[in-house]
Structure 1
Amino acid sequence: MSYSVLFVCLGNICRSPMAEAVFRDLVGKAGLSGKISIDSAGTGDWHIGKPPHEGTRELLDRYSISYEGMKARQLSTRDGGDFDLIVAMDTKNEQDIREKLGANSRAKVIRFLSLLPEKGIDDVPDPYYTGNFDEVYELVKAGCEKLLSRIKEEL
C-alpha cells in the first residue's frame, strides 16, 4: 500500500514547500520513502516555476533538510484524484482547495493545524508577510511528525 500527501498554501514558496521538505525528510528517516509520496502546490499562480522563498531555503539549510528540485506549482483539479490527502496551511487555502476540486475529489482535505489542536490556532501564519520562518518551522515540524504517525498507522 502507498499513500500520497499534497501540502497547499497560497503561493507555494513558503509554508507548503517547507512542509513538503520537512515531511519528505521525516519520511526518509523513517524508511518509508517508497511508500509515501509527497508534493506541494499553491492556490495562486504568481510563483509558478520558482524555488522556495529565500527564508524557507535558509531555514531548511540550517536544519540540513533538502529542497533540491522543488519548484512552485499551482493546484490543479487533477490533484483531487492523484492524492490521498491534501493538507491546507490555512482556512482560506482549505476553502479554495474545496472550491477548485469540487465534490468529485477522492482526496481527503484537512487544515494543517487540525493535526495540532493543542496549539489553539487555526492557520499556519504566512512568513511571506510575517517574516517569522522559525515560528512556521516549529509548527510544520510538529504537524509533520503527527501526520507521519497517523499515516504509519494506516500503512
Structure 2
Amino acid sequence: MTNVLFVCTGNTCRSPMAEALFRKMKAEGMDVRSAGVFAVSGQEASHFAKEVLKEKGIELDHQSSMLTNELIDWSDCVLTMTSEHKRLVLQWFPTIHQKLYTLSEFISSEEESIEDVRDPFGGDLKTYQNTRDDLEKLLEKLIKILEDKPK
C-alpha cells in the first residue's frame, strides 16, 4: 500500500481537490489523505472547490485537517502544493525529508521547470477550474510514477 498525503495551506481548496481527484483516478494499492499547514480543523471545502469537482462527477464531503504527526507517520509520500509549504513542513518535521516533495517536484524530470500549484482561494469559478485542471495533469503523472515504482 502506498499512502499519499497532499498538503496545502488551509486544506479547503488545493489539497482536498487533489485528494478527491487522486481517489477517483488512483490505481489499486494506494490510499490518500490531505491536510493543511494552517488548517482550522473541521472546515468544509470551499464552495468553488466543490463545484469544480462536481463538474467531474465527484461529490466532495470534506472536513479540513491540520497536519499532524499521525498523518506524517501514516504517509509514505508527503506532497505539498508549493515550495513554501514544503519549507514549513520540513521545519516542523525535519526527519521526513526523504519522503517530502512538492507535487511538481516529485513528478518533474530534470528538464522540466518546477512550478507551484496556484492557490485559487478568493478567485472565481474559472480560477478553480484552472487549478483543478492543473492538478489533474499533475496527478496523471503522479499515478503513473507510483504505479511503476517497485513495491
Q: Do structure 1's residue 62 and structure 2's residue 61 form an aligned pair?
A: no
Q: Aligned-pair distance for 1:79?
A: 2.5
Q: Aligned-pair distance for 1:45?
A: 3.0
Question: Which aligned segments of 4 or more residues in structure 1 are displaced greater than 4 angstroms?
Answer: 116-119
Q: Is the 8 A contact 2:90 2:97 kept in 1?
A: no
The answer for unaligned runs of 5 or more in structure 2 is none
Q: Do structure 1's residue 109 and structure 2's residue 104 form an aligned pair?
A: no
Q: Give 3-state SS (helix, strand or coil) of 2:43's partner.
A: coil
Matches within 5 A, 1:29-68: 30=27, 32=28, 35-46=29-40, 48-68=41-61
> Percent identity over the alignment?
26
Q: Which moved more, 1:52-61 or 1:114-123?
A: 114-123
How well do the aligned residues superpose, as a CA RMSD in angstroms? 1.9
Q: Give 3-state SS (helix, strand or coil) of 2:121's partner.
A: helix
Hey, what does 2:133 align to over in structure 1?
A: 138
Structure-2 change in CA distance of 1:82 and 1:106 (3 Å): farther
Matches within 5 A, 1:1-155: 2-27=1-26, 30=27, 32=28, 35-46=29-40, 48-68=41-61, 70-103=62-95, 105=96, 108-114=99-105, 115-116=107-108, 120-131=113-124, 132-154=127-149, 155=151
Structure-2 change in CA distance of 1:133 and 1:59 (3 Å): same
TM-score (norm 2): 0.88
Distance 2:148 2:55 in 1: 30
Distance 1:41 1:95 in 2: 15
The answer for unaligned runs of 5 or more in structure 1 is none
Q: Which moved more, 1:124-133 or 1:87-96?
A: 124-133
Could you list the per-position Cα deviations for residues 99-151 of structure 1 after superposition, in whole angstroms to 9, with x for gaps in the alignment?
12122x38601111222567745211100044411111111001111111011
Q: Is the 8 A contact 1:80 1:106 kept in 2?
A: no
TM-score (norm 1): 0.86
Could you list the per-position Cα deviations for residues 48-95 of structure 1 after superposition, in whole angstroms to 9, with x for gaps in the alignment?
201211110000001102323x21000012322210000000011111
Distance 2:49 2:15 in 1: 10
